[in-house]
Amino acid sequence: MLLETKLIVWDEAPMTHVHAFLAVDRLLQDLTKCQEPFGDKVILLGGDFRQVLPGFWCLVVGHWREKSGSTIQLSLQCYPSIQDPIHQLYSDIDFSSVTPQELKGRAILTERSMEIINKVLEFMPGNETVYKAVDMVMSEDPQDKLTFPEEFLNSLTPTGLPPYELKLKIGCIIMLLRNLAPSKGLCNGTRLIITKLQQNIIQAKSIDGTETFLIPRIPLIPSQTNMPFKFKRMQFPIRLAFSMTIN
């Protein structure tokens, strides 16, 4: 089927890692015994190109050639390197008097989400509160608990889980990671503003400031991991939302 294929449509291309493109490229070259990119097959890349487009992906594409034989030239000026995205996005904000309306429409799309989040948190006034999670291996085998100690579990942050050390300040923009009360609008991806930080409860209000919610600690289990075991994390189901890796 691949040999007879004339056109391959690849959806969500901007969100795909470069290794996937290289693997398909090598596969088609081997099957067709043709050294042209993708074995001389036509590849139509689709998706939202306003999403994060990694620089290394652009550079690799820039070295491939079109069917006509001409080279695609990509100027580095088209994809400028932002040395300090925090300064460029938040330098005009006075965090001592900032309003939710000023923050809710701003976010940095990046692959280094946690690093940038911590830097933005330093700009904000007030005392930082750190909530540490409780991690445990979900196994009846005592050997698993010895093989994967709690210190090792603390170092993990699988996709969809909050970090072991959740650092927050009053006024932060957060995003829910679970559906807590869909009928009230508390869904996975909902953004809120922290108004009070307590030991076992976090109080937050909606972005428009019309409703107030209480967020408890809950047990969280990562849905997909590459690890040979399952573990549970007891933590608030939220992340800071100054930067995101989603569209």
User: Model confidence over 161-203: pLDDT tens digits?
Assistant: 899 999 999 988 899 999 999 998 899 989 898 999 999 999 9
Whether the predicted pLDDT of 155 surpasses 80: yes
Please give the residue that has the higher pLDDT: either 56 or 229.
229
Whether the predicted pLDDT of 153 surpasses 80: yes
pLDDT of residue 57: 45
Q: Looking at this protein, which amino acid is placed at residue 208?
A: D
pLDDT of residue 233: 93
Whether the predicted pLDDT of 71 surpasses 70: no
pLDDT of residue 62: 42
CA dist., res. 174 & res. 194, Å (int): 7
CA dist., res. 137 & res. 169, Å (int): 30
Please give the residue that has the higher pLDDT: either 54 or 235.
235
Show the CA angle centred on residue 152, arms to residues 221 and 217, nearest 5°: 40
pLDDT of residue 133: 95
Whether the predicted pLDDT of 84 surpasses 50: yes
Whether the predicted pLDDT of 119 surpasses 90: no
Taking all residues of the chain, what is their mean pLDDT, rounded to a whole number?
79
